[in-house]
Amino acid sequence: MPSFSTWRSRFASILVSSICTPSIAAVVFSIGTPSIARRHKSQSTSIPKKLQRVRDHGFDDLMEVEKKVRRVLKLQDLILTHPGGGLPVSRLDTLARRHLGFAPQEAGSFILRHPHVFHIFDHPVQRILWIRLTPRAVHQIRLESDAISSSLPAAAHRLRRLLLLAAPSFRIRLEHIRLARRDLGLPDDFEQSVVLANPSLFRLLSPSGPDAEPRLKFVEAVVDPDEPSPVAAVDLAREREYRARGSDAEDARFAFPIQFPPGFKIGKYYRIAVWKWQRLPYWSPYEDVSGYDLRSLEAQRRMEKRAVGSIHELLSLTAEKRTALEKIAHFRQAMGLPKKLKEFLLQHQGIFYISTRGNQGKLHTVFLREAYRKGELLEPNDVFLARKRLRELLLMSPKKVNFDRMLTSLGRGVNSKQFFEDGDVGRGEDGDGSGSDSGVETQIVD
């Protein structure tokens, strides 16, 4: 004979199918059949917080090249800090191990593999092997410096938008900006050339006086109360979408461009969760939310989506639309970002991509997916194009070195003694930075 619970379940199903509305049906089934209620709860439409990271080889391959770029930049700084822009090969390994963290013999082997960037030659006086940068590498440095100098107004604009993301104080530590200056396209002396040179836009705060340590200084944006809030980059993309699609783009009112990595499994309920999240309203990353009551569940969801908008805007302000996760963490407290940034970004793999390539998994680089296609930046700027030339030099084969001109370059090409007098070998007769020994990159090639 059926038990009382069985009869109750049957009665509930008949009652629901005949007279109950869907909302009442959910209540009845939750009372009569607890197992069904638990199954319905497991099929949640909220985005899972712990998702497995799916690799995107297009971004990972780019970071493999970037690993070489970081080593080149370290060695460039080491070489250029010495008088004349060169140093003996015998001192290279010691200095690289002591100051740059290179392994024994690693700096020498790395230089020999990239003769288009580093030039090994006989010193004209000491008659020992020295190392310096090739004319092509010097020209690339000059191109990047010129691109940054010519874009100082745009750099000041980007820095101010970065400070406006830190509402309501609109201030960020000077040291944190200094660590991210290369990603933001700022010059090394941005404190003088950008911050102090624009008193109407920035204010340098130091609680211990003007001679205080950089870690104690803050950069604050000068804000006019009547000034309208900036428009985020994703809002501009939505505006273009509205103009292109018209009324069909109504679903994109609060949406972000999403491009899932190849091989990412999209289930039914995950698709529904993303669809609902895309339609969720949220506060702009430039809006001050200190006056809102954030205790409700709806407010917390809006704040989570606002954090996505803040990181999206931060990456949009960078020169290459990417930066290290550790640098984003420096702005976490000022921008109100979540504590577990990596897990938070993995929830939105269609918007961001985290690459662990380039430093044995110790460095996490966050890419803005919509800004790239097949590993290439869709809207390159002058700073990005100048840095791209260095990557092209690293990818060139050492076999392309011109051995015929190598044997005669020291006597008929660049005057090595003149190089040590003025420290500048960037421009040849045609002014393109190739130099008269542009075909000669090194004397020792693997």
Strands (E), 38-116: 86-88
pLDDT at position 422 is 44
The model's pTM is 0.79
Q: Is the dihedral of CA 286, 291, 295, 298 positive or negative?
A: negative
237-258 pLDDT, tens digit per residue, is 888 877 777 766 667 788 999 9
Alpha carbon distance 103, 93 (integer Å): 9
Residue 295, both tokens: 């205790």
Alpha carbon distance 216, 175 (integer Å): 8
The answer, yes or no, to whether residue 265 has pLDDT greater than 90, is no
Residue 375, both tokens: 């590993």
171-219 pLDDT, tens digit per residue, is 999 999 999 999 999 999 999 999 999 999 999 998 766 666 667 889 9
The answer, yes or no, to whether residue 33 has pLDDT greater than 60, is no
Alpha carbon distance 291, 309 (integer Å): 19
Lowest mean pLDDT among 162-166, 259-263, 296-300, 427-431: 427-431
List the domain boundaries for the chain.
Answer: 4-42, 82-143+390-422, 152-228, 233-380
Phi, psi for 277 (deg, rounded to 5):
-65, -35
Alpha carbon distance 352, 366 (integer Å): 6
| Exposure b/e, 306-330, CB count within 10 A at least 16 = b | bbbbbbbbbbbbbbbbbbbbebbeb
307-332 pLDDT, tens digit per residue, is 999 999 999 999 999 999 999 999 99
Alpha carbon distance 138, 432 (integer Å): 11
| 307 close to 338: Cβ distance less than 8 angstroms | yes
94-145 pLDDT, tens digit per residue, is 999 988 888 888 888 899 888 889 988 888 888 888 999 998 899 999 999 9
Which helix (DSSP H) or strand (DSSP E) does residue 138 occupy? Answer: helix 135-150
Q: What's the farthest any 2 CA atoms get from each other in the chain?
A: 108
| 276 close to 45: Cβ distance less than 8 angstroms | yes
